[in-house]
Amino acid sequence: MRIGILGGGQLGRMIALAGVPLNLSFRVLDPSRAACAAAVAEHHVGEYEDYAALADFVAGLDVVTYEFENVPVETARWLSLRVPVFPPPEALEVAHDRLAEKLFFTRIGIPVPAYGPVTTRQDYDDAIRKVGLPAVLKTRRFGYDGKGQTVLRTDADIEPAWTLLGGRPLILEQFVKFEREMSLLGVRGREGEQRFYPLVENRHRDGILHQSLAPAPDRGSLHELAEKYVGAALSTLSYVGVLAIEFFVVGDSLLANEMAPRVHNSGHWTIEGAVTSQFENHLRAVLGWPLGDTSPRGFSAMVNLIGQLPQREAVLATAGAHLHLYGKTPRPGRKLGHVTLTADTREGLAEVMRRWQG
Amino acid sequence: MRIGILGGGQLGRMIALAGVPLNLSFRVLDPSRAACAAAVAEHHVGEYEDYAALADFVAGLDVVTYEFENVPVETARWLSLRVPVFPPPEALEVAHDRLAEKLFFTRIGIPVPAYGPVTTRQDYDDAIRKVGLPAVLKTRRFGYDGKGQTVLRTDADIEPAWTLLGGRPLILEQFVKFEREMSLLGVRGREGEQRFYPLVENRHRDGILHQSLAPAPDRGSLHELAEKYVGAALSTLSYVGVLAIEFFVVGDSLLANEMAPRVHNSGHWTIEGAVTSQFENHLRAVLGWPLGDTSPRGFSAMVNLIGQLPQREAVLATAGAHLHLYGKTPRPGRKLGHVTLTADTREGLAEVMRRWQG
């Protein structure tokens, strides 16, 4: 079986690494010659809107998936006329647009922060009145890792934010005073079977995921709530593959921040920390195979390696630390790899984390 | 860093799969165009005695290792003048010859079954008198998975065995009435650091490893004994990499059967069943990096898939079963893949094994 992946970054690389032992082979489409998935996959260099390249790419593939959500919906639809494409292009369409995403969440009963759509200056003023400050002004499309957004803390920020982002389709969102951020990954097979990984707590730095703790400590009944929400999204979209939803925790409730229709950075811990990794389960799902056990194995912490790499020897010498490098050239703010720390108990994990940080 | 591997079979494939996340890249030399490691490594098609091919192969490599022990020692030595080669060619030399291996074990205090070297017919008769029957007549070189050997149960087997194998350098070994077979894998780094995986119990079928249980049940003090033996072999050979020794268990003692100077089939369970896999630790060792934790994670059973593949859906639907396919064409007696069953407790593992077999 040959799987096509739109995008050849670290997510594609880790999908392929999970698939080789299942005797799958991979072809990635990525405009960058340096796409790091090329180490373990056939690499087609091409743009996602180049239909001649897409025709070449799709020839001989059994199924197509994608590893980042900024793939044009038209591309996914065009491919889906030739070969099964999972997750469904409809999920991509919802995830592309923060407004469509909010409307979708609301429609299926998932609470979201207060928000207002912003196209004109009049919309902007209306939204500020409705949402109040502090708030976050975001582009509706193509934002990730904190890009394409700015925080309005006081009235003094209103004009500079408009100067920075105005003129594009925007959304103003309530700045939620959340206690914690969490995410839940679900996976749905072609026949509708659903499984869920444990709820994970995420800590960000400079708008980029820095650390995930799995399972999330002190999650009370939040896991059940998150599972209900993600399950509703999976069913409504007739979704196939891994889906991640990020939440803000406010008291006993969860407010959905955004969804990612793909394997997700907050699930990298599953390689060592779960019985079946998110990457293998994504493949099982898109191929129509039985899903794997999503139970955790002990306790895990995933730490992203951003911008620069730690000393390799120090990581390798830390018992319980698992190093994953993506083969990318270091650059400020770039995700270069991650380390997953594992232990049998939460106390053991705290000890591994102390050794790692010390 | 670019690692060269002599041999491009499943062991090379699994070494490369372990190395990609460490940002390593791989080149394998294998005369077969169908070498299954080629899915994750650059593949040079060439014979191990073709020095032009070897010169091409070694260009630009940082270190060379091997994944099967029938690599010519001269090849390893020739390469070692150009680039570090680990494990050391001396280990290869010992492992090539069942007589040299027995002498080596004896010299460092590892008990072995009674044996006698056999070149002439006179040697053969002398050896039968010394060792007694039942016994096993084996070629001294290039035997594996039960090939190149025959059992002498009664006097009636003496002549047919000689007809079958006589004329080559042979060894006659006592047929040990062992209770169990076990193996221990050790790993030694470039600076001499040693680590040991838990003792494993192996069950064979038709001379081929069928199943490994890790850690071995009811191993009493056998682990300490095995660790002492493997440690002595590692030190004496100034070994670097993973070394496996297979033992017969007779009461409270271990008799060494043979050693493999490479990653080993009875260590495949370490991918899911140990903190650090044998493949990653082999790479860490040959690169001079710190060794990883060899502790088990729960209990594992590895089952080889030989000759034909089981129904994929059935394996994938078994919770706790991890499928590893090697991408090889099915053929009787051929190792096509393995399944590792894991559980937190020995009872849990027994339950997973029942589900798997049922």
Does the distance separating the beta carbons of A293 and B297 come in below 8 Å?
A: no
Beta bridge pairs of residue A212: A202, A302
Of A20, A40, A325, the CB nearest to B23: A325
Beta bridge pairs of residue B201: B182, B213
pTM for this model (two decimals)? 0.95
Q: For residues A3 and A41, what is the distance between their CA atoms, to the nearest angstrom?
A: 10
Two tokens, residue B169: 């350098």
- Burial (CB count within 10 angstroms: exposed 0-12, middle 13-18, buried 19+), residue A120: exposed
For residue A67, is pLDDT > 60?
yes
Two tokens, residue B330: 């099915």
Does the distance separating the beta carbons of A20 and B13 come in below 8 Å?
A: yes
Residue of A20, A281, A352 best to disrupt the B interface, most CBs of B under 10 A? A20
* Tens digit of each residue's pLDDT (9 = 90 or more) over A188-212: 999 999 999 999 999 998 888 999 9
3-state secondary structure of B332: coil
pLDDT of residue B147: 74
For residue A330, is pLDDT > 90?
yes
pLDDT of residue B355: 84
For residue A347, is pLDDT > 90?
yes
Q: For residues B168 and B98, what is the distance between their CA atoms, to the nearest angstrom?
A: 13
pLDDT of residue B148: 87
Mean pLDDT of A217-222: 92
Q: For residues A247 and A202, what is the distance between their CA atoms, to the nearest angstrom?
A: 10
pLDDT of residue A179: 92
B341: amino acid identity, one letter: L
Residues 6+ apart with CB under 8 A from A189: A240, A284, A285, A288, A289, A290, A291
Of B293, B313, B325, the CB nearest to A21: B325
How far out from the chain centre does Cα B65 lie? 14
- Burial (CB count within 10 angstroms: exposed 0-12, middle 13-18, buried 19+), residue A212: buried
Mean pLDDT of A79-105: 96
Q: For residues A227 and A236, what is the distance between their CA atoms, to the nearest angstrom?
A: 14
3-state secondary structure of A202: strand
3-state secondary structure of B259: strand
3-state secondary structure of A307: coil
C-alpha closest to that of A106 among A246, A229, A262:
A229
Per-residue pLDDT of chain B (358 residues; tens, 9 = 90+): 999 999 999 999 999 999 999 999 999 999 999 999 999 999 999 999 999 999 999 999 999 999 988 899 999 999 999 999 999 999 999 999 999 999 999 999 999 999 999 999 999 999 999 999 999 999 998 766 667 899 999 999 999 999 999 989 999 999 999 999 999 999 999 999 999 999 999 999 888 899 999 999 998 899 999 999 999 999 999 999 999 999 999 999 999 999 999 999 999 999 999 999 999 999 999 999 999 999 999 999 999 999 999 999 999 999 899 999 999 999 999 999 999 999 999 999 999 998 877 5
Domains of chain A: 2-85 (3.40.50.20), 114-174 (3.30.1490.20), 180-357 (3.30.470.20)
C-alpha closest to that of B211 among B183, B187, B178:
B183
Q: Which residues on B lie below 8 Å from A284 (Cβ)?
A: 316
How far out from the chain centre does Cα A182 lie? 12
Beta bridge pairs of residue A323: A339
Cβ-based neighbour number of residue A210 at 10 Å: 14
Summary mean pLDDT of chain A: 95
What backbone torsions phi and psi does residue B93 show, to the nearest 5 degrees? -60, -45
Two tokens, residue A333: 């703010």
Kindly provide the ipTM of the predicted complex, given to two decimals: 0.93
Of A39, A298, A319, the CB nearest to B293: A319
Mean pLDDT of A144-168: 89
Q: Poorest-confidence range of A37-41, A218-222, B334-338?
A: A218-222
Give, in order, the Cα–Cα distances in Å from B87 to each of B23, B64, B240. Answer: 21, 9, 5
Q: Which residues on A lie below 8 Å from B273 (Cβ)?
A: none
Two tokens, residue A241: 């593959």
For residue B269, give the DSSP letter.
T
Two tokens, residue B66: 């091997």
Q: Which residue has the tokens 């609470």?
A: A111
Q: How far is B52 from chain A (nearest CA, A)?
A: 27
Mean pLDDT of A80-106: 96
